Amino acid sequence: MRKRSCLVALLFSSALGTAASSASADDETLHDPRSDRPDGGAAPEHERQEFPVGDFVFKPFVQARVRAEYRRNPQNEGIFGEHPVLAVDDFPEATRDPFQDQALMWERVRLGLEVDWGPLTGVVSFQDIRSFGEPSAGNRLSGQVELPITEPAEGYLEIHTKPRDVWFRLGRQFVQIGDGRLIGVSDDRPPGRHLDAARFFAKVGDFDLQALAAMLVFPGEPTLPDVEGNEPELAPGAQLYVLDATWHVAPYFAAELTGIARIVRQPLVDSITPSDVGVAALRLFGDYRGVRYSVLGAFEGGRVAPEGETENATLIAGAVAGRVEWQTALPWNITFGAQGAYATGDPAEGDPPSDIGVFDPILPDTTRHFGQYDFYALTNLIEGGADIAIRPIEEFSARASYRFVGLANANGPWFTSALFPVGQSDTNDSQMLGHVVGVDIEGRPWEPLRIGASYGLMILGDGAKNIYVDSHPGLTADDAHDFAETLVVDARVDLP
C-alpha cells in the first residue's frame, strides 16, 4: 500500500530558495529556479508571442527538456541475480525496492497552442516522452513511470472576464494549490502532473477564491470483487475536491485556508489506497523587505481500507511545514534560509487495524520543497535544515543546503518524495534516517534556456539501515552502503 493516511502534525520552519529575486505579495510560492509560474501553469516565465488573426489571438509554444539522473541506492550493485536468497520476484510489488544503481535519461517535448477569443480561451498541448538507460531499476524508488509516453498534457476551455478576475476552466490542466505541498504539478517528473478537472476562480477584493473537482481515476470495471464477493458492473473510480480561499491582508502577511476531500474506490491503481480522506490546511505567507516566508499546518482525517483487510481503519494525522528566506544586500545577492517539517507517521494498530496515523500529503510537488533527490516526503517526517544561495550575475545561481531527516515514528513507513515506499520495520528503535547535503546550480545563458545540475548525498542513520534490512528478507547490514546519492543534470528550453 503506497499511501496510508493519518494523524496530527506540527512543525516550525523556514527555508531558502536558490536565487532570490524580489516578488510581489501575490506570489503564492517562494522562489524556485526550476518552477514555471506561481499558479503552477505550464507557461514559461516570459510572455508568449501573440499572433492576432481577426478576433482571435493565437499563442503557440514549445517546451523541450532533457534530464539525466543517476541514483546510487544503499545496497551493493548487482545484488539481484548474485545473492543466493534475493530475487526481484521475492518481493511484493508495493514494497519492492530496486537494489541496483539507476542511470536514466529522459527527454520531453511539449507542443501547445493557446487561443483567445474574447471571453473564451482554449489551450491544448501534447507531450512526447522517451527514455534511455535503466528505467526498471529505479522505477519505484525514484517514482519514474513507464516510458515512452505520448499523450495530451493540457486540453481545456476557459471562460473569463476581461481582467481575468473571474474564470471557469474545464478539461485537462496543471494545478497547484498554495505552495504545492498538498497539490502540485511535479514538473520534474517525466509527464508532470495534470488533472482532468473543473476549476473556478474569483478575485473579490482582497480575497482569492477557488473551487476544484477532479477525476483521478475514471469509472470503469472493478479490479476486485467487493467484501461480499460481488462484482459490480461499474466502479466509481477516484475523485478529488478542493475549496481554497486566500486573504491578502498586506504584502507581509496573507492567509490561505484549504479544504481537500479525496474519495477512492475501484477500479484500483497501485498509487492510491481505497479511502475517504479529508484535509483542512492553513498557510500563512508573506514578503517584506527581502524576507519571504510560508508556513503550512494541516489536519487530516477519514478512513482507509488496509490491504487485505475487510474493515476500514480510522485515520487521524497532521503535518506542519515551513520555509523562510532572507535576501541580503550583500554582494552576489547572498540569500540565507532555513526550513523544517513534521508529519505524523503512526503505523496501523490492532488486528484488524483500527487506527492509522501516517500523514498523506495527497498530490504534493515532488521536488519543490525537498530538492531533486527523492530521499523523503512530508509523511512520517522530522526535518530541519538551512541553505545559502548566491546569484553573482543574473544568469547564474547556486545553492548549498543541509537537512537533518528523521522519522516521527520509528516503526512507521519511509517514503520517497514521489510517495513510493522504501520500507518499514516493526522492530526499528531509531528515528534517525540520516543527513542530507545538496548542491544546486543553474545557468541561463539564453533567456529561453535553463541548464541546471543538482547533487544530493544522504548519509544513512541507524533508522534507515534498520528499515532496509528488516523490509527485505535475506538482506543483512553488511549488504548495505552507508549512503545514497543522486546526481541530476537538466536542460530545458521554453519557446513562446
Q: CA 286, CA 4: separation in Å to the nearest integer?
A: 32
Residue 135 pLDDT exceeds 90: no
pLDDT of residue 83: 33
Residue with grid cell 548542491, as numbered in its chain: 439
Q: How many CB atoms lie within 10 A of CB 74?
A: 20
Across 165-174, 290-299, 416-425, 437-446, least confident range = 416-425
Contact of 365 with 374, CB cutoff 8 Å: no
pLDDT of residue 474: 65
b/e per residue 426-458 (b: at least 16 CB within 10 A): eebebbbbbbbbbebbbbbeeebebbbbbbbbb
Q: Please state the pTM of the whole predicted model.
A: 0.84
Across 141-145, 308-312, 316-320, least confident range = 141-145
pLDDT in tens, 2-56: 333 333 333 323 322 333 333 333 333 333 322 333 333 333 445 778 999 999 9
pLDDT of residue 145: 72
pLDDT in tens, 234-281: 888 999 999 999 999 999 999 999 999 999 988 877 778 889 999 999
Highest mean pLDDT among 90-94, 298-302, 348-352: 298-302
Q: Tell me the backbone φ, ψ of residue 22, rounded to 5 degrees.
A: -70, 150
Taken in order of first residue, the domains within the chain and their CATH numbers are 51-495 (2.40.160.100)
| Nearest CA among 445, 405, 332 for reference residue 18 | 332
What share of the chain has pLDDT > 70, as a percent? 78
Q: CA 5, CA 313: separation in Å to the nearest integer?
A: 10
pLDDT of residue 121: 96
Highest mean pLDDT among 10-14, 36-40, 131-135, 165-169: 165-169
pLDDT in tens, 205-231: 999 999 999 999 999 888 776 655 566
pLDDT in tens, 354-373: 889 999 999 999 999 988 88
pLDDT of residue 33: 28
Element (H, E) at 214: strand 207-217
Q: CA 20, CA 390: separation in Å to the nearest integer?
A: 8
Q: CA 250, CA 26: separation in Å to the nearest integer?
A: 10
Q: 111 vs 144, which has greater pLDDT?
A: 111
pLDDT band at 75 (very low <50, low <70, confident <90, very high): low
Across 17-31, 393-407, 426-440, least confident range = 17-31
User: Between β-strands 275-288 and 253-264, what pairing exists: parallel, antiparallel or unpaired?
Assistant: antiparallel
Average pLDDT over every residue of 124-147: 70
Within 8 A by CB and 6+ apart from 317, the residues are: 5, 6, 7, 8, 9, 299, 300, 301, 343, 344, 346, 356, 357, 358, 359, 360
Q: Where would I find the beta strands (DSSP E) of 235-364?
A: 238-250, 253-264, 275-288, 291-304, 313-327, 335-343, 345-349, 355-358
Q: 340 vs 133, which has greater pLDDT?
A: 340
Across 77-81, 333-337, 465-469, 479-483, least confident range = 77-81
Q: 75 vs 404, which has greater pLDDT?
A: 404
